[in-house]
């Protein structure tokens, strides 16, 4: 399975990544990608960029080194109401948006019932395209409810390669990703493979994600980023056009 666009990456602007935007774009081109999504952490993540960074994205060329750039954001889900840390008007101006629960930023209880409802509240927002790394056992979720709601709302569920890397800090990720994929296959819910690269060498590295997909015999037609055109068409915001 060929991944044409890496849908989840970070640059120096996120505060704990290690390459510039141009370095990331050049590596994506060198790896033969058609596109690269740059999704910096939104303002509530410690050390990341200010809201001004996202307000000024119009100045960034959307083509570098022959690849298309999608300038987006990885939003922090803040509470059980599904609130995120950029205003709606601004998220709509970006090329795409991931919403993720990060333990340091989430203000609610980390129990399955609340987290499941939190994700449902987030997926109701038509300007949020992807749920990021819903695999972390520290943030328990009812995967059947998650997958069914993602299908209903047209939200993509991420299979996050960084989560699956051996020695990572997220818990039970392989088991959780495998369960999510089995349910996505059953309900016909689309997924996306994101590297979550914080270093240029990790761009489009989906080796651990691919391993779980193979175990699940997961169909390629349910993977959104096997072509740039397919990914754009699968973004919830583009379905409104």
How many CB atoms are closer than 10 A to CB 150? 25
* Domain CATH number, residue 190: 3.20.20.140
In terms of residues, how long is the chain? Answer: 241
pLDDT of 197 over the 80 cut: yes
Residues 204, 197: Cα–Cα separation, whole Å? 8
For the stretch 162-188, pLDDT in tens is 999 999 899 999 999 999 999 999 999
Domain that holds residue 101: 5-239
Percent of the chain surpassing pLDDT 90: 97
Band of pLDDT at residue 240, cut at 50, 70 and 90: low
pLDDT of 57 over the 80 cut: yes
Q: What local confidence, expressed as pLDDT, does residue 172 receive?
A: 96
In this prediction, residues 80-101 reach a mean pLDDT of: 98
Tally the domains of the chain: 1
β-pairing, 5-6 vs 63-64, is unpaired
Percent of the chain surpassing pLDDT 70: 99
Q: What local confidence, expressed as pLDDT, does residue 241 receive?
A: 44
Q: What local confidence, expressed as pLDDT, does residue 49 receive?
A: 96
For the stretch 108-144, pLDDT in tens is 999 999 999 999 999 999 999 999 999 999 999 999 9
Token pair 């088991």: residue: 175
- Residue 217 DSSP symbol: T
At residue 138, the 3 state secondary structure works out as coil
In this prediction, residues 12-32 reach a mean pLDDT of: 98
List the structure tokens of 196. 């979550």
């Amino acid at each position: 399975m060929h991944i044409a666009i890496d849908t989840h990456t970070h640059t120096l602007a996120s505060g704990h990544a290690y390459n510039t935007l141009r370095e990331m774009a050049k590596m994506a081109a060198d790896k033969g990608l058609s596109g690269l999504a740059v999704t910096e952490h939104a303002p509530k993540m410690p050390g990341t960029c200010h809201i001004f960074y996202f307000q000024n994205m119009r100045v960034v060329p959307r083509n570098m080194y022959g690849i298309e750039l999608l300038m987006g954001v990885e939003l922090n889900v803040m509470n059980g109401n599904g609130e995120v840390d950029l205003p709606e008007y601004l998220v709509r101006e970006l090329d795409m948006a991931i919403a993720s629960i990060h333990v340091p930023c989430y203000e609610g209880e980390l129990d399955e019932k609340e987290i499941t409802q939190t994700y449902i509240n987030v997926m109701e927002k038509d300007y949020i395209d992807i749920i990021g790394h819903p695999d972390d056992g520290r943030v328990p979720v009812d995967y059947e409810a998650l997958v069914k709601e993602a299908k209903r709302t047209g939200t993509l569920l991420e299979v996050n390669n960084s989560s699956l890397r051996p020695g990572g800090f997220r818990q039970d990720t392989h088991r959780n990703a495998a369960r999510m994929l089995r349910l996505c296959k059953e309900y016909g819910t689309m997924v996306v493979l994101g590297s979550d690269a914080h270093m240029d060498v990790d761009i489009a590295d989906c080796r651990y994600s691919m391993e779980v997909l193979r175990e699940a015999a997961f169909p390629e037609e349910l993977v959104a980023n096997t072509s740039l055109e397919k990914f754009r068409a699968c973004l919830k915001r583009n379905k409104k056009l």
